[in-house]
Amino acid sequence: MKLFHSLVLSVKLTLLLLLILSGIYPFTVYILGKLFFPYQSEGSLIIDSKGHVRGSLLIGQNFDSPRYFHSRPSVSNYDGLNSGGSNLAPSSSDFIETIKKRADHYRKENGIASSSLIPADAVCSSGSGLDPHISLKNALLQAPRVAKVRKVDIKAIENLILKNTQNPLANVFGEKNVNVLKLNLELDKEYPLP
């Protein structure tokens, strides 16, 4: 009799928790998100003037054309379903070799001397592999390449970068950064290629 009572109680508790955790809680979060954070709850999508979705402010994209600013590297090739880092230790020979190759490519692509330091986000992927931001320094180092390809004065490109620069959280946590997709869309708008 005691076993049957315990079994019934377990089933009731399971059904109650199922209702709360699989129904009430997600529905409440969904409604609160729609009410108080409608833009974010829809994915922070950037929609162009023609109504086409160009991307999300929250997920990085691959830009490899010299006419655009490039995102930081991604182990998952910016695939949201396969996000994550490489899990290689900083002492790993594979990691060191990858960083060296990325640094050489970055320097060559942007016309930077081999002895010059470059920002870490130019050669290291983020933990998720989906970071949509690069550091201000990274953007400024890419500016001469973009200006040259688009045949625009370097100062105009630097001003566009500064216009799209975000300050650290509460002006304390992190560093100044630039959302690459937002910057590239602004670049196309201000200085379209012929």
Note whether 85 and 76 are within 8 A (CB).
Answer: no
Residues 105-156: tens digit of each pLDDT: 999 999 999 889 999 999 998 888 888 999 999 999 999 999 999 999 999 9
Q: What is the pTM of this model?
A: 0.79
Backbone angles phi, psi at 3, to 5 degrees: -65, -45
Q: Let me know how many helices (H) and strands (E) the chain has, helices first.
A: 7, 5
Residues 14-57: tens digit of each pLDDT: 999 999 999 999 999 999 999 999 988 888 888 888 888 888 88
Counting other chains too, the contacts that 73-77 makes at CB distance below 8 Å and 24 or more residues apart are 73/102, 73/123, 73/124, 73/125, 74/125, 74/126, 74/129, 74/130, 75/125, 75/129, 76/129, 76/130, 77/129
Q: Grade residue 68 by pLDDT with cuts at 50, 70 and 90.
A: very high
Q: Is the pLDDT of residue 13 over 70?
A: yes
Q: Where are the domains of the chain?
A: 2-39, 45-190
Q: What is the per-residue pLDDT for 143?
A: 96
Q: What is the per-residue pLDDT for 194?
A: 66
Which element (helix H / strand E) includes 131? none
Q: CA 153, 156, 162 angle in degrees (round to 5)?
A: 145
Note whether 72 and 141 are within 8 A (CB).
Answer: no
Radius of gyration of the chain (CA): 23
| Residues in contact with 79: Cβ distance below 8 Å, sequence separation at least 6, in sequence order | 129
Q: In this structure, what token pair is assigned to residue 15?
A: 């059904």
